[in-house]
Structure 1
Amino acid sequence: MSSLAGKVDKLFTTIRANGREYTYEEVARGCSELSGGTFSKTYVWQLRTGQRTNPTKRHLEALAAFFRVPVAYFFDDDTADRVDSQLALASAMGNAEVRDIALRAMSMDDSGRKSLARIIREVSKMHATTAAARGRQPNEPVDSEE
């Protein structure tokens, strides 16, 4: 179960504005416009850092609307998990190499896609094994010199 601060932070780190993280000012201004109420950049920062843990319903609705997620994201862990998976996919599709692989896979028949999926699974296993042998996490980048 993620904390409110963890969920707010996840939204900041995965939902981008022209490739960069939204500023607290941008989020506060957007939430104010969406809710018709006041929302300060300090308050947004406090929610993200866990210094404020009990926002009003109106504030959560404004944050959800700004980041375009259901308000249940903040209350329901199943909803949060589903949204986080969708955000991870959208983020990955923002990577040109991942998008290229996906577009090429779309033009393949079922047999080709199954073969590609097998290859990706094997490469992922090899990467995890190599990372473990070097004392890194599987998703940690490998230095190009290695």
Structure 2
Amino acid sequence: MTTGEQGPTLAQKLDRLFHTVQPLGREYTYDEVARGCSELELGTFSKTYVWQLRSGQRDNPTKRHLEALAAFFRVPAAYFFDDDLAERVDSQLALAIALRNADIRDIALRALDLDDDGRKSMARIMTEISRLQRGKPGRAASPARGDLPDGDAE
């Protein structure tokens, strides 16, 4: 990150965790995160408070709250403070998510059998296919999650 460039906000980092850490095959609900964090005995949470943090309406949680969120999502607590670490963790999470797809796993495993030249050729082919795919119309992004929890207190 260059000097003067501002990294992702707490809300953006938390939102990214919701989108990528999905051991249940779906995003956690605000209630699941609140209960999970509270059970870690690192702070009391409500689903509204989790939503407020994720939406950016609250942006100054206690250290204990951040530690609980980090423990719940299984990332280092420094994820919320260190943009370089957050970027590395996000890359690892993206790879783990991608490898859940059988087709991607198959491609990766086949690449293991290639020599260096073969892997470089495969990378060039994949880059070209990606470039062509980005130019196709009708590739919609995933819809944003807009579920607002019922009004409970922190």
State the TM bucket, normalised to the shorter chain.
Answer: 0.7 to 0.9
Matches of 1:108 and 1:119, distance apart in 2 = 14
Given that 2:37 and 2:68 are in contact with CA atoms closer than 8 Å, whether structure 1 keeps it comes out as yes
Q: Residue 80 of structure 1 is aligned with which of 65, 79, 86? A: 86
Partner residue in 2 for 1:31: 37
What's the TM-score once normalised by structure 1's chain length? 0.83
RMSD: 1.7
Matches of 1:35 and 1:121, distance apart in 2 = 46
Structure with greater contact order relative to length (CA < 8 Å, sep ≥ 6): 2
State the Cα distance separating 1:112 from its structure 2 match: 2.2
Matches of 2:41 and 2:84, distance apart in 1 = 26
Dislocated runs of 4+, deviation >4 Å: none
Which ranges in structure 2 are unaligned for 5 or more consecutive residues?
A: 1-6, 141-154
State the Cα distance separating 1:73 from its structure 2 match: 1.1
Q: Deviations over 1:60-83 (max 9, x none)?
A: 000001111111111111111111
Which ranges in structure 1 are unaligned for 5 or more consecutive residues?
A: 142-146
User: Aligned letter for 2:38?
Assistant: S
State the Cα distance separating 1:14 from its structure 2 match: 0.7
Partner residue in 1 for 2:26: 20
Partner residue in 2 for 1:56: 62
Structure 1 or 2: more helix by fraction: 1
Identical columns (%): 69
Matches of 2:72 and 2:42, distance apart in 1 = 13
> Alignment length, in residue pairs?
134
Given that 1:32 and 1:39 are in contact with CA atoms closer than 8 Å, whether structure 2 keeps it comes out as yes
Change (3 A) 1:17 1:5: same
